[in-house]
Structure 1
Amino acid sequence: MLRRLSLLFVAVSSALLSAEPSEKVFELRTYHANEGKLDALHARFRDHTVSLFEKHGMTNVAYWTPVKNEKNLLIYLLSYPSKEAREKSWQGFMSDPDWQAAFKASTAEGRLVGKIDSVFLKETDFSAAFTPSESTRLFEMRTYTTAEGMLPHLHKRFRDHTMKLFQKHGMSNLSYFELLADQDKAEQTLLYFLAHKDAEAAKKSWDGFRADPEWKKVAAKSEEDAGGRILVKGGVEAVYLQPTDYSPIK
């Protein structure tokens, strides 16, 4: 009996040690709606696209529009079990008669989208997660560009200090991503999401964070350890986002 249990333990341990790391892939897609077509684009997603994505094995994570949306953008996040699964899902989606009918009907008076941007992501080892909320929140998408060779130092600062300080000052850590290796500036980019109660809460949180002596100490020490500036000049981009009414996460 003991021998059988020992053999079972070895087999299970070997399987765990040889298991492949998660291949889960995220895709951040930005649609530039044509003038006057954003409402129609929302209607197509609400009535057709979201459910068809699910039908074809894609996971709808969240859908947003920028709070200041002068460019008529729809920004959304999908996830897939792997990059290969992503290709299969999109092939099935694009050839689906229901999608083709919805696309044709929605574009009878002109195309809704002028341009689509797409970037592929994977979660960092310190990523939190998108979690539901009972009330609608204000989201913040932040993109950091590091100097060459500095991304591991930035990751360490977030892993060991920054996320805890965000939480201390009332911000909710959501997912943190690095770009897949074949993406532009993959070795220099961290993209992540925060959630705030509202704009006033966001301002209060950031003011408190930036003035925190602990943050100032951490920032200085991390650059001392790195041997120079971690971020390039102008290397922080932030966009405040509001969830659409059909977004799974609000």
Structure 2
Amino acid sequence: MRNVVILLFLSLIALTTSAGASEPDRFVCHSNGSSLQQLRIYEINRANQDAFHQRFQDHALRIMRRHGFSVIDMWESDTGEKLQFVYVLSWPDRATMDARWKAFLADKEWIEIKRRTAAASGELVREANGQPLVRVSYSPACKGRLSIRGARLAHSRALRADDYVADSTTTASPTETRPGATVDP
């Protein structure tokens, strides 16, 4: 009897530990390919806008491709106060992102192009920022996404098929759900 109680106690500890370990990931979308995107925002020197775009289009993109970068989309944002170039990259994981950025920034051709364009046009970028993004499970872009209710259920028990919200590959409208599921605003 004592062995049974000890075994049950150890099982309970293991179950509690594994549930707690998954806590940070419970809202992460795991079902749609690339798990990591990176948002990049450059504040462009307005006087050098054309030179910046020419360098990015003609050189940066080509060298990024050579180093395995996957550019998802690019935008320009002009608030009147700031002129920004914004783009999103997709990565298989953080280690790959870090390694490829390190290789890109050390690329001799890129270093020389930056030196030449700075000598000809001056400062092109005032400030550059980047941050990794991980899609959340309730994002419309997450295939097989969960409602908030479903994410809460995932934390407390194994999910059944009817806990999922209809995804974009079904014929359900965006507000319809599978039986038993809810769509939280």
TM range (shorter): 0.5 to 0.7
Cα deviations by residue, 1:31-50 (Å, 9 ceiling, x for unpaired): 00113112111111100101
Change (3 A) 1:64 1:102: same
Q: 2:122 aligns with which of 104, 110, 117?
A: 110
Q: Do 1:57 and 1:80's aligned partners in 2 also have CA atoms closer than 8 Å?
A: no
By percentage of residues, which structure has more strand?
A: 1
- Amino acid in structure 2 at the alignment position of 1:124: V
Structure 1: how far apart are the matches of 2:115 and 2:55?
11
Task: Name structure 2 gaps, 5 residues minimum.
Answer: 1-29, 153-163, 175-182
Whether 2:64 is the aligned partner of 1:53: answer yes
Q: Which has the larger radius of gyration?
A: 2
Whether 2:38 is the aligned partner of 1:36: answer no
Partner of 2:133 in structure 1?
121
Q: Do 1:60 and 1:77's aligned partners in 2 also have CA atoms closer than 8 Å?
A: yes
Cα deviations by residue, 1:106-153 (Å, 9 ceiling, x for unpaired): 111311111112221112334428xxxxxxxxxxxxxxxxxxxxx947
Structure 2: how far apart are the matches of 1:54 and 1:100?
16
Cα deviations by residue, 1:41-83 (Å, 9 ceiling, x for unpaired): 1111100101111111110111111265541110000111110
- Amino acid in structure 2 at the alignment position of 1:39: D
Structure 2: how far apart are the matches of 1:88 and 1:99?
16
What's the TM-score once normalised by structure 2's chain length?
Answer: 0.56
What's the TM-score once normalised by structure 1's chain length?
Answer: 0.43
Identity %: 24
Partner of 1:77 in structure 2?
88
SS of the equivalent of 1:111 reads coil
- Amino acid in structure 2 at the alignment position of 1:94: L
Task: Name structure 1 gaps, 5 residues minimum.
Answer: 1-20, 130-150, 170-220, 224-250
Deviation for aligned residue 1:23: 6.4
Q: Do 2:148 and 2:184's aligned partners in 1 also have CA atoms closer than 8 Å?
A: no
The number of aligned residues is 129
SS of the equivalent of 2:42 reads strand
